[in-house]
């Protein structure tokens, strides 16, 4: 031990303050919040798993969970929200989101003021929640602070399943250094993106292991690596395979030791197959895979987390080379969904929106676009209970234990009350300001357009 000694009186003072804080935490106000109850009366339920709506029902929420669902009247000392036979459904889940990278430009995300970027991300988090997305799986970025602020109710926003920094290789997707930054000194200075926790460069199994463990130490619920090239990175051709199998396996070993899993950014068959051989459990994107690779994913039970990229919207900020890469990805969208349906792949919905508030405002529209391949009910099930199933891969690293993505007794109370039937008209999710009249997360009402009809 060092020679540092804390005076006994100071220790006792800290103990007294802690005791006072504890006693305040269970005072009347806190107790009242803990005992809060809300009754949704006369609603039709889309439970997140079945395509048919329930008969008119009543749903009692107590604290942060759904306590009771009944067709018969529920008697409880609770705030009542009159549903008027509107549809009550689970909060939406985006399985591929970048909380810190939605609004800034690429330059400001890397070189901009960190404090401002955090405030920008907080504002976007609130807007994300108001679009009905009560949970996001963050697939790369310094999100740990924002997640904590949301969890502590300092900021209104969705639940965040954080990956922390994306782990990439020299020249891979996620390496935003300039050529003037080369050569890299092994064990030397970190780049700006590494310093702020956006991405980490790792060029050996040992380096990968360290970087993966660092993200887990900070609270990552899963680890994200880029196994192949990407669209936005300037020195990353989309056809390249980046990490070697031993490097990928090092991350898988680190994550497995923590009871969780690795997801890899991978478009091509080679990158996907190498990831699977290393033990990766979820492939992000997959737009350029072939039939044999899709069949392998099905045989191994590998998740596909993909996105309905249908046009070149947002490409204006990219250079010619990046626009061409995006064009290849968009061309592959029909194929990846066709293969997912052909082989019955476990498929998650996400949006992967970067650097554009305007595109973020279309988050619900991207969900609705799944009807190009799926029925509205299938699309909504994917964005609720199916995505929630993917989140359970985090095991004990799951930051929000409990059932998500469903309306059933005992589930976490993340709920949307919809003015209309989204199974008949999925375009309702494109206009959340009008369609979602009540938005609840964890039993707390964040929006209620029926406030005048709410009573006890």
Q: What is the rounded (10 degree) CA torsion for 36, 57, 411, 303? A: -150
| Burial classification of residue 145, based on how many CB atoms lie within 10 Å of its CB (0-12 exposed, 13-18 middle, 19 or more buried) | middle
Question: Can you tell me the distance from the alpha carbon of 227 to that of 263, in angstroms, rounded to the nearest whole number?
Answer: 9
Tell me the CATH number for domain 92-397. Answer: 3.20.20.140
Question: Domains of the chain: which residue ranges?
Answer: 36-90+405-453, 92-397
CATH of 36-90+405-453, picked from 6.10.140.120, 2.30.40.10, 3.30.2350.10, 1.10.10.10, is 2.30.40.10
Instruction: Write out pLDDT tens, residues 268-295.
Output: 999 999 999 999 999 999 999 999 999 9
Q: Which residue has the tokens 């300039």?
A: 178
Please give the biggest Cα pair distance in the chain.
71
**Predicted confidence band of residue 455 (pLDDT cuts 50, 70, 90):** low
Residue 389 CB contacts under 8 Å (≥ 6 apart), including other chains? 346, 405
418 pairs with which residues across the strands? 87, 436
| Section 343-359 average pLDDT | 94
E-strand ranges in 56-119 read 57-62, 65-70, 79-82, 87-90, 92-97
Position 199 pLDDT exceeds 60: yes
Say how many C-beta atoms besides its own lie within 10 A of residue 39's C-beta. 23
Angle at 288 between CA 287 and CA 293, to 5 degrees: 100
Mean of pLDDT values over 43-69: 97
CA distance from start to end of the chain: 59
* Model pTM above 0.85: yes
Residues 20-44 have pLDDT tens digits of: 444 444 433 333 345 799 999 999 9
Please, are residues 66 and 78 in contact by the beta-carbon 8 Å criterion?
no
Which pLDDT value is given to residue 34? Answer: 54
Residue found under tokens 């490097």: 247
Tell me if 161 sits within 8 A of 139, measured CB to CB.
no
């Amino acid at each position: 031990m060092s020679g540092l000694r804390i005076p006994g009186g100071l220790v006792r003072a800290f103990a007294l303050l802690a005791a006072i804080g504890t006693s305040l935490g269970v005072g009347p106000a806190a107790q009242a919040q803990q005992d809060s109850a809300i009754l949704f009366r006369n609603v039709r339920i889309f439970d997140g798993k079945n395509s048919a709506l329930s008969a008119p029902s009543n749903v009692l929420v107590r604290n942060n969970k759904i306590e009771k669902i009944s067709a018969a009247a529920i008697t409880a000392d609770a705030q009542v929200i009159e549903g008027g036979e509107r549809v009550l459904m689970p909060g939406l889940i985006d399985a591929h989101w970048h909380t810190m990278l939605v609004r800034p430009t690429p330059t400001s995300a890397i070189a901009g003021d960190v404090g401002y970027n955090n405030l920008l991300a907080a504002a976007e988090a609130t807007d994300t929640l108001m679009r009905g997305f009560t949970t996001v799986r963050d697939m790369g970025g310094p999100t740990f602070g924002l997640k904590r602020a949301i969890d502590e109710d300092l900021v209104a926003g969705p639940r965040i399943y954080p990956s922390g920094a994306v782990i990439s290789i020299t020249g891979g997707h996620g390496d935003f250094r300039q050529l003037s930054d080369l050569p890299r000194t092994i064990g030397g200075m970190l780049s700006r993106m590494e310093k702020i926790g956006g991405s980490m460069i790792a060029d050996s199994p040992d380096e990968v292991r360290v970087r993966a463990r660092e993200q887990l130490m900070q609270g990552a619920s899963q680890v994200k690596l880029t196994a192949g090239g990407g669209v936005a990175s300037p020195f990353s051709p989309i056809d390249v395979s980046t990490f070697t199998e031993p490097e990928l396996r090092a991350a898988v070993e680190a994550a497995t030791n923590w009871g969780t899993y690795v997801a890899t950014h991978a478009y091509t068959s080679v990158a996907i197959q190498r990831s699977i051989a290393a033990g990766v459990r979820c492939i992000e994107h997959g737009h350029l895979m072939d039939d044999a690779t899709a069949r392998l994913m099905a045989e191994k039970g590998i998740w596909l987390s993909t996105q309905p990229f249908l046009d070149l919207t947002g490409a204006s900020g990219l250079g010619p080379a990046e626009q061409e890469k995006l064009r290849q990805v968009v061309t592959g969208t029909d194929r990846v969904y066709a293969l997912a349906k052909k082989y019955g792949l476990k498929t998650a919905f996400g949006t992967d929106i970067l650097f554009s508030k305007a595109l973020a405002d279309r988050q619900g529209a991207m969900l609705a676009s799944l009807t190009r391949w799926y029925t509205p009910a299938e699309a909504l099930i994917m964005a609720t209970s199916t995505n929630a199933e993917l989140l359970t891969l985090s095991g004990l690293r799951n930051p929000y234990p409990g059932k998500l993505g469903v309306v059933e007794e005992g589930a976490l109370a993340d709920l949307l009350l919809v003015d209309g039937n989204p199974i008949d008209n999925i375009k309702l999710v494109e206009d959340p300001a009008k369609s979602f009249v009540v938005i609840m997360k964890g039993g707390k009402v964040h929006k209620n357009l029926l406030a005048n009809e709410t009573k006890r």
